[in-house]
Amino acid sequence: MIILTQNEALLIIDYTNDFVAPDGALTSGKPGQDIEPAIMNLANEFLEQDRWVLLPTDVHTPNDPYHPETKLFPPHNVRNTWGRQYYGQLQSWFDGQTDNPRIWSFDKTRYSSFAGTDLDLRLRERKIDTVHLAGVCTDICVLHTAVDAYNLGYKIVIHKNAVATFTEHGQEWALDHFKNSLGAEIV
């Protein structure tokens, strides 16, 4: 169990069916599925210590000609679809927290959880200075969120058993980058 201060928040990034389930549109596959217990343990630890748990979640409109990802990836995380629902136990855990003001989900349309959202404002209002990152994909959305957190002055903690991506090389590269270029604590 980790002991948290008042000023820490957990971000569970993009842990959806499309990114994790075997038949997801853009799945990380087994590596993403294998981190479910670690993500659930973190979510429960933060909940038990009455801390913030945020779920920044990718959302798209199919074939959006103005979104850069349309040219890069197949349609994924389309609003109101099975693919955008949280993967595995996380969906029922989140559904059970609808009245908890310390747990919230919000839409994001870019890799970073900060880009085009009010995340920075909401964290600063709550005096959060440390963000714990979990979810997928380590070398895309988790990475871009970490870079923005670094540039905004947040302390960063990466839970290496709670992040996953498509390739072992991408995972290793991102973990190295977090530590050596962003000064993140890897736990």
Predicted confidence (pLDDT) per residue in 61-71, tens digit: 888 888 788 78
Predicted confidence (pLDDT) per residue in 1-60, tens digit: 677 777 999 999 999 999 999 999 999 999 999 999 999 999 999 999 999 999 999 998
Structure tokens at 54: 């945020």
The whole-number pLDDT of residue 66 equals 84
- Among 77, 83, 85, 82, smallest CA distance to 61 is for 77
- C-alpha distance from residue 180 to each of 137, 143, 163 (Å): 19, 13, 17
pTM above 0.85, yes or no: yes
Predicted confidence (pLDDT) per residue in 88-130, tens digit: 999 999 999 989 999 999 999 999 999 999 999 999 999 999 9
Q: How far apart are CA 57 and CA 43, in angstroms?
A: 15
> Which domains are delineated in the chain?
8-186 (3.40.50.850)
- Among 79, 53, 75, 54, smallest CA distance to 64 is for 75
Q: How far apart are CA 53 and CA 94, in angstroms?
A: 10
The whole-number pLDDT of residue 64 equals 83
